[in-house]
Structure 1
Amino acid sequence: MILEAWFTASLIVGMLAMLTFTRAAPDLVFVGAVVILLLAGIVSPREAFAGFSNEGVITVAALYVVVAGLRETGGIQWIVQSLLGRPRSLWRAQMRLTTPVAVMSAFLNNTPVVGMLIPAVNEWARKLDLPVSRLMMPLSFAAILGGTITVIGTSTNLVVNGLLIDQTGTGLGLFDIAWVGVPAAFLGLGVMLVFGRYLFPDRRPPMSHIDDPREYTLEMLVEDDGPLVGRSIEEAGLRHLPGGYLMELDRQGTLIPAVSPQEMLRAGDRLIFVGVVESMADLQRIRGLTPATGQVFKLDGRRSDRVLLEVVVSNTCPVVGMTIRDGGFRNRYNAVVIAVARNGERLRGKIGDIVLRPGDTLLVEAGSSFLAQNRNRRDFFLMTQVQDSATPRHDRALVAMGILVAMVGSASLGLLSMLEAALAAAGLMILSGCVSMFTARGSLDWSVLLTIAAAFGVAAAMNNTGLAQAVALNVTGLAGDQPWLNLLLIYLLTALFTALITNNAAAVLMFPIAWAVAQDLGVSLMPFAVAIMFAASASFATPFGYQTNLMVYGPGGYRFSDYLRAGIPMTLVTGALVILLVPLIWSW
């Protein structure tokens, strides 16, 4: 190999070492590597940054906006309740998650499936007190397995099928690869469910099990025409709250303590909850519940444009020693107190009748400008905004779900490409008011986008220097004239390149090598093409081998080594099955 090839190989080894043995951010590692390759003259500026104009990267970016629209309208909650439910164990949760994801990914591009479900799974895990790290990687792996069932399941399948048509004039039908894809999906899902506790790490932070000392008491009303009327406490999702519980129910002046989970909700029921701030914020997002204080509806603007804040009352606050109502808190600060915490003391009575004391922590609903307007005042010791606390625009939920269905349908039927469908859906989310421009801009996960885009620059370097071709030809030369052994080596090489670069780049790189090997052996190209399709699509061993793996890397709190531990066994098991079945279905 030439000097540039050795330099590129050394750089890739250094990248893998940093990602494996340090906590360096993947986006910084990849971008840094691309900059080094650019300065060394191995890749051109166009090649180094071609990933930023790649359709897959732009599609992922657009999907973040679509998901933000679902989140801001409460669509994510609907998905959680209708699709995922409330399993009673981690094993059941993994089964409830992976099975429908695999089925959906067989007919939809698996990238939008994972992008849509990441925030839903995150919220679902928090409510069930399950480690999200044991759900995010199974989500990605299930989507990958489902994508191997049909030709349209992944973009890699379509790329290889297109190369096959160009080379031989014939391609694969929609379900032709299902003869291998369905058994591989069943085997992969089975391995995850049986050995999940050994494959997937528990990355919960150590502080997550410590109780929050700020315990609020919050009163919520069941809306007269809301969807909760006639449903039980358990069916409404009000029984198991993360960090909170339903203390009692006030029904027309009659108190019902220790509320049964089978108690049916009625219009006008007053529910008294006790819990930490995150639990109180969750209650604000449930459709059919409104704060018992009507003051929130007297503030200017829409509730969806407001946020929740925690403020600590100082001894110089002008409303100290007065009730919240008599002190005119709403008129004075253009904000409404919806709950009060006082050194673990449980406060009873209506919010407006509570007499404020110095040191009280108030949960306040206010406009986004509250912090800026009161930062320099001495009325409060401390002010912090509660993350993701905006009240969803439930009136736009059906619109958001309709946009999602239209996006999926138009892409599945071939009316629009996945890129066009995602961009159109993102634009409609903004134009319809499902998500604001500010929120849409903030929803983009730049670390994921940068890593995916920079991976194309590394792939270009491997191509330009001949590194990839040299490795492939040297390894396949060891197989001699044995078709099975050549098939095995091509599968392993494709899987290796997919783990190091990207799935589509690995498939495009290996296809001409497979064609040359088939020609030399005088056998059919079809088994080699199908093997490349599976090896490039079923990439589990590294976070940057497949887009969905990268998308769950941050939300799952994973390390690079976590993918090696779970991904290598998955790759070996599914690969062995593929190598066994492919020659039996497509003869030499």
Structure 2
Amino acid sequence: MFEWEFYFVLFSIAAMIACLIWEIKSPELIIASTVVLFLLTGILTPKEAINGFSNEGVMTIGLLFIIAGAVEKSKIVESFFNRLIKGPPTTRLFLFKLLTPITSLSAFMNNTPIVITLTPIIRKWCEKHNISPSKLLIPLSYATILGGTITLMGTSTNLVVHGLLVEKGMSGFSFFQFAIIGVPITIVGLLYLIFLGYKLLPNNQVTINSTIENLREYVCEILVGKEYAFIGKSVEEAKLRNLKGLFLVSIIRDSEHITPVANTTVLKHGDRLLFSGDISTLSELQQTKGLNLLTNQGTYFLSKPQNRLVEAVVSHHSSLLYKKLKDTHFRSKFNAAVLAVHRKNHHIKTKIGEIELKAGDILLMAVGQDFYKNDHHKDFYLISPVTPNTLVDKNTKRKGWVSLFLLLCMITLVTLKVLSIITALGLAVVMLFLFKIITPSEARRYIQWNVLILIASSFGIGVAILKTGVATWVANLVIGNTASFGIFATILAIYFLTNVFTEVITNNAAAVIMFPIAYEISEKMQLNPIPLAVIVAIAASASFSTPIGYQTNLIVYGPGGYSFKDYLKVGIPLNLITMFVTVTIVYFIWIY
């Protein structure tokens, strides 16, 4: 009979997965709370609960964030792809020119900044050539995922599993060990995307101009006349913050553009007040003496592109999640005002301040001059700055090339086994500081602390699964139902279970949950744990069937105008292709 701890952990893990699927709270909060629960009940010791925070894989991921941030800052990747995509607008040729270098790049860099950088570039190219971006954005995400499977540092999942192996007293993976599988599945995956996958994608005409044109539906302009009773009074005194269904975004005063509008801003005769929200609720304003409706067509934004309209996707780890906009202090925190919120390709028609934000929401914002100076990287991903980016000076580009050189040197030292990956990355980061390529404050900003907390907390979950016998129980179930069909069926089952988990929760959590189960199976079947660890790492990364399984899928969800079924239609075949290629190679290279 099992002890009570077994049933408690089994039930808690099931509840945790349900909360992750339904997005009750942010993933790191859900997983960390589960670890704290195990700590309070005595299932985990304090050392076991926090052990993940000192894990080599977690620390390596943190260092990679800094190096990727230094490269991203230089805009070298953006400049390269801007030059690369020039040419005739042939979809297949464009996909080949785009996806081939992307897979190579994502083998050595964090794929999230790659997708963030290229999404607006692709959308502008599509608009210029009258091609739907929905034909290209999912392939962009998938290509970065595939490329990440080629090297140890290509994806955080590989590093997490590497760290788990090291904790077990093994040497872990070598730098290019994943290439045995990563290169074949990348080649096959690209062929699928270029010749078949893009045909399965919808032809949604989602462009930057169409997004701005939609302002006509939810922006109105009000002129402040001489008769208005609150001339010389503040916005707060005029009670313009508590209008039903409307939100004051900007004030146009002669040539001055006030965005965002503070509560203390004083109103003057001739001001043009720009409101966003449900335009059908204008009656309160129209009945106010001295306020005259100019238009509800948003012509100011349409005719003044320099007013910095920006689109952004709310991230999985945003501090804005599950909060109403009015409770986030958005204007003061980001120096921006939200004009509209889109969710699942639909405009949310309610008062802006009352909208509770969720991961994947698209925010259309009017931003102030200091917007780009603020730290917004953890909260949302910029996907289509409507105005051109400012030019990057030569010194910044030079620092970018130095960053790439340091990355290349680090890869060489790790490949030659002169240094371990964590030592090499640590040395590279120190050099970035010494050469003043980045500052300590910038480094702190580049590190995605929420991701590290999620991964480190997940280690405690893995310990609880192993310690209470849950891993053994699941391992016995897998072996009992597949052993009669041979080892191939067993490793296929491990891949399938891991892949299902990664599609509905996070990739790193899926890896940490499945690793102890795979390790138990290797012990019981007297197999080398390395090939089963490879199976878990690849399966946890290969998230193609849902927009929630991998953050790059979420980034392109709104900009491509996709629905959930689009990911199923294109992603399931790629999931199956990747699964069978991976399991076949593992079986014949390591096990047969």
Question: Shorter chain as normaliser: what TM range?
Answer: 0.5 to 0.7
Q: How far apart are the structure 1 equivalents of 2:53 and 2:116?
A: 24
Name the structure 2 match of 1:137: 141
Cα-Cα RMSD? 5.4
3-state DSSP class of the match of 1:385? coil
Q: How far apart are the structure 2 equivalents of 1:563 and 1:32?
A: 30
In structure 2, give the amino acid aligned to 1:46: K
Is the alpha carbon distance of 1:63 and 1:394 closer, same or farther for their aligned partners in structure 2, counting shifts above 3 Å? farther
Name the structure 2 match of 1:195: 197
Give 1:517 shift: 1.4
Name the structure 2 match of 1:475: 478
Is the alpha carbon distance of 1:476 and 1:430 closer, same or farther for their aligned partners in structure 2, counting shifts above 3 Å? same
Name the structure 2 match of 1:114: 111
Note if contact 1:137-1:556 (Cα within 8 Å) is conserved in structure 2. Answer: yes
3-state DSSP class of the match of 1:574? helix
Name the structure 2 match of 1:45: 46
Is the alpha carbon distance of 1:149 and 1:472 closer, same or farther for their aligned partners in structure 2, counting shifts above 3 Å? same
In structure 2, give the amino acid aligned to 1:406: L
In structure 2, give the amino acid aligned to 1:513: I
Q: How far apart are the structure 2 equivalents of 1:431 and 1:173?
A: 29
Is 1:449 the counterpart of 2:452? The answer is yes
Note if contact 2:52-2:457 (Cα within 8 Å) is conserved in structure 1. Answer: yes
Note if contact 1:102-1:145 (Cα within 8 Å) is conserved in structure 2. Answer: no
Q: How far apart are the structure 1 equivalents of 2:198 and 2:391?
A: 36
State the number of aligned residues: 431
Note if contact 2:150-2:178 (Cα within 8 Å) is conserved in structure 1. Answer: no
Q: Can you list the C-alpha shifts for 1:467-490, whole angstroms capped at 9, x where unaligned?
A: 11211123203344x5x5233223
Worse overlay, 419-428 or 460-469: 419-428
2:211 to 204, 209, 212: 209
- % identical equivalent positions: 22
Note if contact 2:152-2:158 (Cα within 8 Å) is conserved in structure 1. Answer: yes
Note if contact 2:76-2:400 (Cα within 8 Å) is conserved in structure 1. Answer: yes
Give 1:568 shift: 5.3
Is the alpha carbon distance of 1:45 and 1:562 closer, same or farther for their aligned partners in structure 2, counting shifts above 3 Å? farther
Is the alpha carbon distance of 1:159 and 1:492 closer, same or farther for their aligned partners in structure 2, counting shifts above 3 Å? farther
Name the structure 2 match of 1:25: 26
Name the structure 2 match of 1:248: none
Worse overlay, 556-565 or 440-449: 556-565
Q: How far apart are the structure 2 equivalents of 1:203 and 1:449?
A: 37
3-state DSSP class of the match of 1:146? coil
Name the structure 1 match of 2:425: 422
Give 1:554 shift: 5.7
Q: How far apart are the structure 2 equivalents of 1:565 and 1:460?
A: 36
Is the alpha carbon distance of 1:208 and 1:309 closer, same or farther for their aligned partners in structure 2, counting shifts above 3 Å? farther
Is the alpha carbon distance of 1:39 and 1:408 closer, same or farther for their aligned partners in structure 2, counting shifts above 3 Å? farther
Name the structure 1 match of 2:399: 399
Is 1:77 the counterpart of 2:74? The answer is no
Is the alpha carbon distance of 1:61 and 1:551 closer, same or farther for their aligned partners in structure 2, counting shifts above 3 Å? farther
Is the alpha carbon distance of 1:31 and 1:573 closer, same or farther for their aligned partners in structure 2, counting shifts above 3 Å? same
Give 1:138 shift: 0.9
Name the structure 1 match of 2:462: 459
Note if contact 2:56-2:163 (Cα within 8 Å) is conserved in structure 1. Answer: no
In structure 1, the gaps of 5 or more residues are 215-307, 318-340, 348-359, 364-370, 375-381, 519-524
3-state DSSP class of the match of 2:65? helix
Q: How far apart are the structure 2 equivalents of 1:8 and 1:207?
A: 51
Give 1:402 shift: 1.7
Is the alpha carbon distance of 1:32 and 1:162 closer, same or farther for their aligned partners in structure 2, counting shifts above 3 Å? closer
Name the structure 2 match of 1:513: 521
Looking at CA atoms only, which structure, 1 or 2, has the larger radius of gyration? 1
Q: Can you list the C-alpha shifts for 1:10-63, whole angstroms capped at 9, x where unaligned?
A: 222223323333464322322232232322322233332333333333333333
Q: How far apart are the structure 2 equivalents of 1:185 and 1:159?
A: 24
Q: Can you list the C-alpha shifts for 1:315-368, whole angstroms capped at 9, x where unaligned?
A: 979xxxxxxxxxxxxxxxxxxxxxxx9947979xxxxxxxxxxxx9978xxxxx
3-state DSSP class of the match of 1:50? helix
Q: How far apart are the structure 2 equivalents of 1:40 and 1:506?
A: 23
Q: Can you list the C-alpha shifts for 1:71-102, whole angstroms capped at 9, x where unaligned?
A: 43332323433566678466655544443344
In structure 2, the gaps of 5 or more residues are 127-132, 217-256, 270-297, 309-331, 336-365, 373-388, 503-508
Q: Can you list the C-alpha shifts for 1:230-254, whole angstroms capped at 9, x where unaligned?
A: xxxxxxxxxxxxxxxxxxxxxxxxx
Name the structure 1 match of 2:295: none
Is the alpha carbon distance of 1:188 and 1:120 closer, same or farther for their aligned partners in structure 2, counting shifts above 3 Å? same
Is the alpha carbon distance of 1:473 and 1:459 closer, same or farther for their aligned partners in structure 2, counting shifts above 3 Å? same
3-state DSSP class of the match of 1:210? helix
Name the structure 2 match of 1:576: 580
Q: How far apart are the structure 1 equivalents of 2:555 and 2:491?
A: 33
Note if contact 1:148-1:538 (Cα within 8 Å) is conserved in structure 2. Answer: no
1:146 to 140, 147, 150: 150
Q: TM-score, normalised by structure 1?
A: 0.57
3-state DSSP class of the match of 2:368? strand
Alignment of 1:162-201 (within 5 A): 181-193=182-194, 194-196=196-198
Is the alpha carbon distance of 1:85 and 1:184 closer, same or farther for their aligned partners in structure 2, counting shifts above 3 Å? same
Note if contact 1:541-1:563 (Cα within 8 Å) is conserved in structure 2. Answer: no
Note if contact 1:540-1:567 (Cα within 8 Å) is conserved in structure 2. Answer: no
Is 1:411 the counterpart of 2:414? The answer is no
Note if contact 1:200-1:566 (Cα within 8 Å) is conserved in structure 2. Answer: no
Q: How far apart are the structure 1 equivalents of 2:21 and 2:37?
A: 20
Is the alpha carbon distance of 1:406 and 1:511 closer, same or farther for their aligned partners in structure 2, counting shifts above 3 Å? same
Q: TM-score, normalised by structure 2?
A: 0.57
